[in-house]
């Protein structure tokens, strides 16, 4: 008959086995149904956005993050999903707050005013609801795969590249842009109909490139690094 000490040792070994199994990559895998659902959504969104907005629409941070996330969930990359979380959780959370405020008749920033314009396609506005669930999905994915601290410098480089491309090659604001993407990533100011007049355009872009990491990316990085598990993979 096993002694009390032997039984305790067996119990500890069993508990350790369970804990180790729960922390292995296989236990943290992203569910297949989520991968398929997200892929189906992207299979609808991408061609529709290409048709109505054109390819330049995919220079927006949020749309770039959508595409990176698609690859990230299939290869289960902590780095890719962490990059998207660092880059968009703060801004998309602001979208959610503004949208909820608009629902009760108060526009805080004007960020989601287009969602309540009857002359805008209801279907396109419905697709734009991804802004509401995307930050929560990213937090979930990081929780499942772990937070990779390399996401901050990696996304910052992506964001700076997008800002420079949008500033030098994409259309500036204009009075009636319609569905044509203008002032992408706010490189000309906060309005799509008129450029800002506070400072020279070049200084605005430099300030934007400095403030984006400081105000939006670094706080999310610090929060995720503190609250989320370490990555289960190195890539």
Give me the DSSP letters along 65-81: HHHHHHHHHHHT-HHHH
pLDDT (mean) for 143-155:
97
Res 4: pLDDT: 57
What's the farthest any 2 CA atoms get from each other in the chain?
A: 87
Is pLDDT at 15 greater than 80 in this prediction? no
Which structure tokens are listed for 82? 């962490």
Compute CA 218 distance to the chain's CA centroid, rounded to the nearest angstrom. 14
Q: Is residue 13 part of a domain?
A: no
Res 114: pLDDT: 82
pLDDT in tens, 36-79: 999 999 999 999 999 999 999 999 999 999 999 999 999 999 99
Query: Of 53-57, 163-167, 173-177, where does mean pLDDT reach its minimum?
Result: 173-177
* Residue corresponding to tokens 């330049």: 56
Which structure tokens are listed for 45? 């969104």
pLDDT in tens, 94-116: 999 999 998 887 877 778 888 88
What is the C-alpha separation between 9 and 145, in angstroms, rounded?
32
93 contacts 135 by C-beta, under 8 angstroms: yes
Mean pLDDT of the chain: 88
Tell me which residue of 140, 124, 129 sits closest to 100, measured CA to CA: 129
Q: Is residue 16 part of a domain?
A: no
Residue 110 zone, left/alpha/beta (φ > 0; ψ -120 to 50; rest): left
Full domain range(s) for residue 183:
30-227
Is pLDDT at 5 greater than 90 in this prediction? no
Q: Is residue 46 part of a domain?
A: yes
Number of domains in the chain: 1
Res 178: pLDDT: 79
Q: Is residue 137 part of a domain?
A: yes
213 contacts 152 by C-beta, under 8 angstroms: yes
Q: Is residue 20 part of a domain?
A: no
Query: Of 23-27, 89-93, 117-121, 182-186, where does mean pLDDT reach its minimum?
Result: 23-27
Q: Is residue 76 part of a domain?
A: yes
Q: Is residue 218 part of a domain?
A: yes
Q: Is residue 8 part of a domain?
A: no
């Amino acid at each position: 008959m096993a002694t009390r000490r032997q039984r305790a040792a067996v119990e500890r070994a069993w508990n350790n086995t369970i804990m180790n199994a729960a922390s292995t990559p296989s236990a943290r895998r992203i569910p297949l149904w989520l991968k398929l659902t997200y892929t189906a959504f992207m299979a609808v969104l991408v061609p529709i956005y290409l048709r109505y907005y054109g390819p330049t629409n995919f220079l927006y941070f949020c749309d770039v993050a959508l595409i990176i996330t698609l690859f990230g969930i299939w290869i289960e990359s902590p780095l890719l999903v962490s990059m998207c979380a660092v880059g968009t959780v703060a801004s998309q959370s602001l979208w959610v707050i503004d949208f909820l405020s608009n629902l009760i008749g108060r526009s805080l920033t004007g960020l989601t005013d287009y969602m309540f314009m009857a002359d805008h396609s209801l279907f396109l506005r419905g697709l734009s609801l991804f802004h509401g669930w995307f930050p929560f999905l990213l937090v979930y994915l990081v929780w499942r795969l772990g937070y990779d601290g390399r996401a901050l410098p990696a996304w910052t480089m992506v964001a700076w590249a997008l800002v420079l491309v949008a500033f030098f090659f994409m259309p500036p604001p204009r009075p009636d842009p319609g569905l044509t993407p203008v002032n992408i990533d706010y490189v000309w100011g906060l309005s799509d109909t008129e450029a800002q007049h506070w400072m020279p355009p070049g200084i605005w872009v430099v300030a934007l490139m400095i403030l984006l990491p400081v105000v939006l990316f670094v706080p999310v990085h610090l929060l995720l690094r503190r609250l989320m598990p370490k990555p289960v993979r190195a890539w």
